[in-house]
Structures are given as structure tokens and as C-alpha cells.
Amino acid sequence: MLEFVDGQRADAGASKLSRMARKKKRLPKDFDALLRSGDLDAMKAVFETTELDAHDGVGGPTALGMYDVPPELVSWLVAAGADVEATNGYGRTALWQHAGVANDAVVTALLDAGAALQPRWLPLHAAAEGPNPSTVRLLLERGADPLAVESRGTALEAGLRSCSNAELSRMADVAHELLAAGTPINDRMRQRVEEIGERFEFYRANFNPDSLPEAEAGLNRLYEMFGVTPAAARRTHDGASAITVTATGWAEQHQELWDLLVPGMGSAATMQGEAIRITGRLAHELLDNGGINWDQDFKTMARTLPTFLASGVPLPGAVLAEATTLATSLRRNSPEEDVQRLSELAVSWVLANPDPLPAPDPDYSR
């Protein structure tokens, strides 16, 4: 026999109570703003109706992995039963996330709460890629293994692979810490330092003058630590003299012309430089990136190229027609030989036009 309470079925009332007791599996949408407010009691109150391991949206971190979480809430959550090894949708733990942004106070709180130093994604690698020398030092002091390997190699290899020009000083500090901790130097590291130096020289003219001395000092420390010969200063065209090359073979000549005529940022000042820059950008996008960023700008660059190749001393009629057909039909899935042929024809045109031709203002921004 069914039981009724105040005219309602008792089992229906129990079901409603059960639903009311069930906690939310997603953090509130404004939880990040609450973290920034500093109101610890209000943060704790959220978990009266929300699971301790609730995630920030689909695939986001739990509260432990959110960048503005205060150390006090970390300690409280773990003491209340939150999983310190909970991951986001990419499998990264909270310790990995905070190590990557030098949030050392939270890193310390997580380590004190028992966070593992060697989950699937290694926090020491995240700190090295930061590059965050203070976090690297902290993790090493707490027992992180500098020789542990991920797909990117050791933490030092990972840090060098991701190092940008703006991070040279901090990367030198990270390298010092990891080498002192026993990381051996290998040829891949030396090669990467060489590449870092070459890239720095390519962009030197565009570097912030206020930051240049610090960046140079960091780079010189990397050269010294890894026993690498400093990269030669970049030789750039003066905009007026004849354009010449010493390399043989169109691919090598294209690279020499790139180094000579293409600025670190923006379009080239000469048609010759822009022809080389356009073909280089197109080749990189289609052959190295698989066309993932292919858009209207790239299409406009391709369509612009034949106008350069028809200027000054133009390519011969049949060859110019070939270049025009290739450029206007270029697509995300164009054959590699078509892309390379455009670069070859650009080199041919530049060599036939050694006197600089001013480039018009571009109709594209890439």
C-alpha cells in the first residue's frame, strides 16, 4: 500500500530530498571572480552545494588548479577531502598548472598537501618551460627529479625548446639550476642554444632597447654554459645597394635572401624582400603547419606575388604565367612541389632584379 503525507506520495518526497542533497559537479561561472575577491569564507561556502572536485566548466580544472586560488583555500579543500591529483581535461594536475606560472605559494601548499612530483605531466617541466627559476628551485628542493623524461626530453630540454627571446635571462637561470642539479648536457641542447642565438640575431633590430642588455646577458650565459659559439650578427640589406647572393641552389639562395631582406617583423621594404617573405610564409604555413592558419590574408599574399614577379625585369612570359597559375590556385592542400616552385621562381626574379624596388603598402597583415 502506498503511503501519503499531506496528500503527497512519501517516495516522491524522498526523491525530492535526495535531489536537493546532491551537490553540483560544476563550479559557479563567477568562481574565478570570487577567488580574486579574497573572501575565504565565501569561497568555502560554495562547497556547501558544490562537490569538492567540481570542475570549472567542461574540461577545466578543479578549484585547486585555478590560477587565482589562494593557498589557504588549497589547504582547506585538501583537508576536507578534495583530490590533490585531480586533473583538467588535458590530464594536467593542479601542481603542473601552478608550476607553469610561477605561483610558488600555491605550489608550496600543494606540495605540503601531498601533491605528486611525478604524475603523467611533470611539474618540473612546466616550471622549466615557464621559464620560472624560483619554481624550478622549489621543486628541486622538494625532491623533483631533474633527469625525469617526458616526450620533450628532460626538463632542461623542454625549457630550451620553448624559450623565447623575451625569456632568455630567466631561461639562463633555469638552466643554471637544472645543470647544478645534475642534468647532463647533450648535443640536442647545444643545437637548441645555437637556434636560440640565431633567432635572437634575426629579431635583434626589433627588440625592445630597454630589455636588450638583459636578454643579451642571458643569451651569453647560455652560450657559456653549453659551450656554444655565439651566433654571428645578422647581415641585413641597406635598402640601396645591389642585392647579391653567394649561395648556390635556389633553396639555399632563398634562405640567404630571407636573412638579408626580410625584417624580423612586418612586411619587407623592397619588392624583392617581400617576394621572398611571401613565398617563405606560404611554404611555412602549407608545408610545416599543414595549412591550419590558412585564411584570406594568405590568399591575398599569394595573389599579390605575381604582381611583383611582373615588375622590373619580369619573369619570361611562360614562366610568369606558370607563377600566376600556381599562386592564384594555391590551396590548403596544394602539392609540395607547387609551393616549392613558387619559392624557386621568386628567387629567380630577385636575382634578375638586383636593384631594390620599393614595395607598396600591403593589403594583408601576415
Cα Rg, the chain, nearest whole Å: 29
pLDDT at residue number 20: 45
From first to last of the 366 residues of the chain, give the pLDDT tens digit: 444 444 445 454 444 444 446 899 999 999 999 999 999 999 999 999 999 999 999 999 999 999 999 999 999 999 999 999 999 999 999 999 999 999 999 999 999 999 999 888 999 999 999 999 999 999 999 999 999 999 889 999 999 999 999 999 999 999 999 999 999 999 999 999 999 999 999 999 888 899 999 999 999 999 999 999 999 998 899 999 999 999 999 999 999 999 999 998 899 999 999 999 999 999 999 999 999 999 999 999 999 999 999 999 999 999 999 999 999 999 999 999 999 999 999 999 999 999 999 999 999 999
Return the SS3 of 56. coil
Distance CA 93, CA 56 (A): 14
Distance CA 261, CA 136 (A): 40
- In this structure, which topology does domain 122-233 adopt according to CATH? 1.25.40
- Other CB atoms within 10 Å distance of the CB of residue 330: 21
Task: Answer yes or no: pTM beyond 0.75.
Answer: yes
Residue 237 to residues 207, 226, 308, Cα–Cα distance (Å): 18, 32, 19
pLDDT at residue number 307: 97
Distance CA 18, CA 91 (A): 32
